[in-house]
């Protein structure tokens, strides 16, 4: 993506661009004006020289003894042209009406100047008052050539006067160069002032916008947002500030409503979660009681030991219910966390004792695998995952549930696998979301709660599933070394 220029940069660039363009335009107009003035100067100077020369020629014609006709032009002006050239300080030529050179003050005579082209004669004939100026450029130098009729005292045309003129612009060019040099110095000074002015003006214009942008970036729904107070702001900036401050007021009102709604939603979710958590131990307790009634034999040798194990199992589940009830009644997170260093193998084995299912197998190493956890929370995690595995195998002809404790990459891990219906791929990314469930009953809070508990203790939970073949949930917690335990 192409980087965008900031508003301040655009204002700064625009102001400098305007100054540079204005300077170039002024320089261009100045050069044009100098050229026009120079052209006008040469044109007027040529006109004055021609008038002076015509006046002198008219005087000679009035004093000559030769007939004042075209045939006697050479006799009239043969030698006198050099005197006129010295007096007027000009060089000129005299042609007859056919364009043939009669006499000239320039030597040697140029071949191309001995005859006026017919095209030029036609232009002279059609020119206003018979005065025509031809402009030519030779070797990058501009030349003017004035043609006018020589008239007798009676007004008849008897010849053509040609006054060549060279446009000497050396002095004008020097003046223009000096003027542009001084103008450049002024432009550099103006440009420097313009840069400083553009910097401060752009900073002043965008300062309020930057403050508004900073405030907008810091705006948040869960905190008190500050309003913007800017003195002597422009009308547009004031409207923008007013809109922002109005938005802050509306946001505060929305935050209050949202907080109230979130509290109500939290209470509803807490009630659902409490109900879900109470149901978890009740079901295995009911199954344990029913199994105990069927299998207990008072006369058996180990009857007292079985009765003690059954009592301990019920007491643990009752303790879980008591913890949940206490946390809920005290408006605290449930259940209260009491972190300690636990042997994950022993705690997992203890959690499995409430499941009187011969299809559940347990595997753990002989050595202790310790992690810093809350005993009740870990039991809740194992209970939920095993319960889900049992339910997934409800319609399986030969159900198999394997619970295994092991070490991996300095982490204590527990895996629960089953050969039940599995998890469809379309649901794989949603199973940990609250309220999501594929069962016909239940709140769908179990796996979401399990994930929250695991992540609370810096643990991870992941799963792999092949529908109707095998599903494995693996929970891992940071391992505690033997020295720490």
Q: Is there a single domain that holds both residue 327 and residue 351?
A: no
**Of 278, 313, 334, which marks where a domain is finished?**
334
Q: Is there a single domain that holds both residue 352 and residue 456?
A: yes
Start-end of H helices in 130-234:
170-218
- The Cβ of residue 124 has, within 10 Å, a number of other Cβ atoms equal to 21
- The tens digit of pLDDT for each residue in 159-193 reads 888 888 877 767 777 877 888 888 888 888 888 88
Pick the range with the lowest mean pLDDT from 2-11, 19-28, 331-340. 331-340
**Of 334, 364, 396, which marks where a domain is finished?**
334
Q: Is there a single domain that holds both residue 61 and residue 168?
A: yes
In a domain, 213, yes or no: no
Q: Is there a single domain that holds both residue 166 and residue 19?
A: yes
Q: Is there a single domain that holds both residue 341 and residue 317?
A: no
Is pLDDT above 80 for 37? yes
**Of 174, 208, 228, which marks where a domain is finished?**
174
Residue ranges making up the domain that contains 323 = 219-334
Give the SS3 label for residue 229.
coil
Q: Is there a single domain that holds both residue 228 and residue 154?
A: no
* d(C-alpha 388, C-alpha 354), whole Å: 14
Global confidence as pTM: 0.40
* d(C-alpha 479, C-alpha 343), whole Å: 10
In a domain, 212, yes or no: no
In a domain, 131, yes or no: yes
Q: Could you tell me how far CA 474 lies from the centroid of its own chain? A: 44
Q: Across-strand partners of 461?
A: 475
Q: Is there a single domain that holds both residue 365 and residue 377?
A: yes
Q: Which DSSP symbol is given to 112?
A: G
- The tens digit of pLDDT for each residue in 236-256 reads 667 777 777 777 777 777 777
Do 371 and 477 meet the contact criterion of CB atoms below 8 Å apart?
yes
* d(C-alpha 132, C-alpha 124), whole Å: 5
In a domain, 201, yes or no: no
CATH of the domain at 77: 3.30.450.20
Q: Is there a single domain that holds both residue 304 and residue 374?
A: no
pLDDT band at 328 (very low <50, low <70, confident <90, very high): low
- Helical (H) or strand (E) element with 371: strand 370-374
Give the SS3 label for residue 98.
coil
Helix, strand, coil percentages, rounded to 5, for the chain: 55, 20, 25
With a pLDDT cut of 90, the percent of the chain lying above it is: 9
* d(C-alpha 334, C-alpha 266), whole Å: 13
């Amino acid at each position: 993506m192409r980087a965008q220029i900031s508003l301040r940069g655009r204002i700064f660039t625009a102001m400098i661009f305007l100054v540079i363009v204005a300077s170039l335009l002024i320089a261009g107009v100045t050069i044009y004006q100098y050229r026009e003035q120079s052209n006008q100067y040469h044109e007027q100077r040529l006109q004055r020289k021609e008038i002076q020369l015509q006046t002198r020629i008219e005087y000679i014609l009035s004093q000559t003894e030769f007939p004042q006709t075209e045939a006697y032009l050479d006799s009239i002006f043969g030698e006198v042209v050099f005197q006129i050239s010295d007096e007027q300080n000009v060089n000129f030529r005299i042609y007859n009406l056919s364009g043939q050179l009669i006499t000239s003050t320039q030597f040697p005579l140029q071949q191309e100047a001995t005859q006026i082209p017919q095209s030029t004669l036609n232009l002279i004939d059609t020119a206003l008052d018979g005065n025509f100026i031809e402009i030519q450029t030779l070797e990058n130098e501009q030349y003017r050539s004035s043609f006018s009729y020589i008239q007798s005292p009676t007004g008849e045309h008897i010849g053509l006067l040609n006054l060549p003129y060279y446009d000497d612009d050396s002095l004008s060019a020097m003046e223009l160069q000096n003027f542009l040099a001084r103008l450049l110095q002024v432009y550099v000074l103006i440009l420097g002032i313009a840069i400083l002015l553009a910097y401060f003006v752009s900073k002043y214009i965008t300062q309020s916008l930057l403050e508004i942008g900073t405030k907008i970036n810091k705006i948040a729904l869960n905190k008190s947002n500050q309003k913007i107070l800017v003195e002597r702001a422009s009308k547009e900036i004031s409207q923008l500030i007013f809109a922002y401050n109005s938005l802050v007021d509306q946001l505060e009102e929305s935050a209050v409503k949202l907080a109230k709604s979130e509290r109500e939603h939290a209470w509803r979710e807490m009630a659902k979660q409490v109900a879900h958590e109470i149901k978890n131990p009740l079901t295995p307790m009911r199954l344990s009681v029913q199994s105990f009634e069927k299998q207990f034999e008072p006369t058996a040798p180990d009857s007292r030991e079985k009765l003690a194990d059954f009592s301990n199992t019920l007491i643990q589940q009752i303790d879980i219910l008591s913890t949940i009830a206490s946390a809920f009644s005290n408006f605290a997170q449930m259940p209260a966390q009491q972190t300690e260093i636990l042997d994950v193998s022993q705690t997992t084995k203890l959690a499995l004792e409430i499941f009187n299912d011969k299809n559940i197998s347990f595997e753990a190493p002989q050595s202790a695998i310790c992690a810093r956890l809350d005993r009740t929370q870990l039991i809740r995690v194992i209970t939920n995952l095993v319960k889900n595995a049992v339910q997934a195998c409800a319609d399986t002809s030969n159900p198999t549930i394997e619970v295994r404790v092991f070490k991996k990459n300095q982490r204590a891990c527990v895996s629960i696998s089953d050969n039940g219906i599995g998890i469809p791929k379309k649901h794989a990314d949603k199973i940990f979301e609250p309220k999501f469930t594929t069962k016909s009953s239940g709140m769908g809070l179990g796996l979401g709660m399990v994930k929250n508990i695991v992540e609370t203790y810096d643990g991870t939970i992941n799963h792999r599933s092949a529908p109707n073949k095998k599903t494995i949930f693996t929970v891992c917690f940071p391992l505690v070394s033997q020295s720490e335990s």
